[in-house]
């Protein structure tokens, strides 16, 4: 699927809408759709605010046992995260938020992979499976 730019608040809303559509079309329940869209919102905001902008990609995937899922990729070339363990801790914040963005997003999805190095940017991949 096409890459979606994340350069503004409007783009974050557009990513949420596209994720909602993909989740609904692939059999995720309303609660799971809401969880995935909420996670997407947190991650897209991180890409915009901390990564200085970037892009998202939405992919439809199938598990080994035939379940459909929606996989999201977020990437930026921002400053990166020096201490990933710390960044994933509830309540730890680099700004004036609650520090629930990254850790909360991880709880809302079934699979979560974060890759980041200082100076090279950050990529996050998440998957939510239909039940």
Q: Which stretches of the chain bind another protein, using CB under 8 A?
A: 9-10, 12-13, 16-17, 20, 30-31, 33-35, 37-38, 41-42, 45, 90, 97-98, 100-101, 103-104, 107-108
Q: Which two tokens stand for residue 127?
A: 């998957």
Cβ closest to another protein, residue 118 vs residue 129: 129
Angle among Cα 23, 27, 31 to the nearest 5 degrees reads 65
CB of 9 vs another protein, minimal distance in Å: 4
Tell me how far, at minimum, the Cβ of 43 lies from another protein, in Å: 10
Contact status, residue 24 vs residue 127, Cβ threshold 8 Å: no
Distances (CA, A) of 81 to 100, 101, 119: 16, 14, 9
Q: Which is nearer to another protein, 65 or 105 (CB)?
A: 105
Decide whether 83 or 90 has the Cβ nearer to another protein.
90
Q: How far is the CB of 31 from another protein (least distance, A)?
A: 5
In this complex, which beta carbon is closest to another protein, that of residue 46 or of residue 119? Answer: 46
Q: What per-residue string of b and e applies to 3-29 under the rule 16 or more CB within 10 Å gives b?
A: ebebeeeebbebbbebbbebbeebebe
């Amino acid at each position: 699927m096409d890459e979606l730019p994340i350069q503004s608040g409007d783009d974050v809303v557009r990513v949420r809408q596209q994720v909602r559509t993909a989740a609904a079309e692939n059999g995720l329940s309303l609660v799971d759709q809401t969880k995935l869209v909420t996670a997407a919102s947190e991650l897209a905001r991180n890409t915009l605010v901390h990564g200085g902008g970037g892009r998202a990609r939405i992919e439809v995937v199938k598990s080994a046992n035939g379940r459909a899922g929606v996989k999201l990729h977020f990437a930026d070339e921002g400053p990166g995260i020096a201490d990933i363990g710390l960044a994933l801790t509830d309540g730890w914040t680099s700004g004036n938020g609650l520090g629930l963005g990254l850790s909360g997003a991880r709880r809302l999805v079934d699979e979560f992979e974060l890759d980041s190095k200082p100076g090279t940017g950050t990529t996050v991949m998440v998957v939510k499976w239909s039940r």
